[in-house]
Amino acid sequence: DARVTQTPRHKVTEMGQEVTMRCQPILGHNTVFWYRQTMMQGLELLAYFRNRAPLDDSGMPKDRFSAEMPDATLATLKIQPSEPRDSAVYFCASDDFRGAGELFFGEGSRLTVL
Amino acid sequence: QKEVEQDPGPLSVPEGAIVSLNCTYSNSAFQYFMWYRQYSRKGPELLMYTYSSGNKEDGRFTAQVDKSSKYISLFIRDSQPSDSATYLCAMNNDYKLSFGAGTTVTVRA
């Protein structure tokens, strides 16, 4: 059963702390996305990679967020320092670049920054 | 103004009713039109996608795209309590998906 795996599922932290979220895309998928979902803004694209190369991170606050893909089986999203306004559900999604936008989402990492 | 507009609802219908959902968009470059379903505390999952204008049917679900009006719809026939979820429309441009806000649907048994 191929699926996108995200860790941690839940994270509560204090303002100023570093947060790292991890994603294992579906084996064979060469495109990985990071989305953030809030009630106010809905789903927002933060960044995406193809063949491990970052293609677009224009949706990401550059001063505190960073996204990397150290290898084909791992994508990371880091927030340093975290702020209360970062509280959201962060989703990772992957696909095999067939062009139709058929993304497979993980179950998300629910972040609360106090 | 957002590229994709979707009424967040919520929408509550009795079991067996037809559910009608829709989105409007402003970017005429969109080519693929999708509907994702998201259950509470889960990630979105692709329900259907349509390329360009036209209709597509899959069981109880029908997706319609009218590019001339920049309007897409999803119909759920014979709705079931298991259809209770948030439905998000999505469209792509240069491989980046733009999502609607999502409409929360509750089907009452």
Chain A / chain B CB contacts < 8 angstroms: 52
| Res A56: pLDDT | 87
3-state secondary structure B4-17: EEECCCCEEEECCC
Q: Are B74 and B21 in contact (CB under 8 A)?
A: yes
CA nearest neighbour of A45 among A111, A103, A113: A103
Chain A hits for B90, CB-CB cut-off 8 Å, are 101
Contact across the interface for B43 and A105, Cβ inside 8 Å: yes
Q: Which residues of chain A have pLDDT under 70?
A: 1, 97-100
Residue A64 to residues A7, A37, A108, B62, B71: CA-CA distances in angstroms?
20, 18, 20, 42, 37
| Res A85: pLDDT | 96
C-alpha to C-alpha distance for B103 and B109, rounded to whole angstroms: 19
Residue window 27-66, chain A: list those with CB within 8 Å of chain B: 31, 42-43, 45, 48, 56
C-alpha to C-alpha distance for A51 and A4, rounded to whole angstroms: 16
Contact across the interface for A100 and B32, Cβ inside 8 Å: yes
Query: Stretch B57-73: mean pLDDT, rounded?
Result: 95
Chain B hits for A102, CB-CB cut-off 8 Å, are 34, 46, 49
B12-50 pLDDT per residue, tens: 999 999 999 999 999 998 988 999 999 999 999 999 988
CB nearest to B43's CB, from A45, A91, A97: A91
Mutation target for A interface from B52, B56, B72, B96: give the one with most A CBs within 10 A: B96
Contact across the interface for A101 and B34, Cβ inside 8 Å: yes
Contact across the interface for A45 and B96, Cβ inside 8 Å: yes
Query: Stretch B57-70: mean pLDDT, rounded?
Result: 95
CB nearest to B99's CB, from A43, A48, A104: A43
Q: How far is B62 from chain A (nearest CA, A)?
A: 17
Q: Is the pLDDT of residue B55 over 80?
A: yes
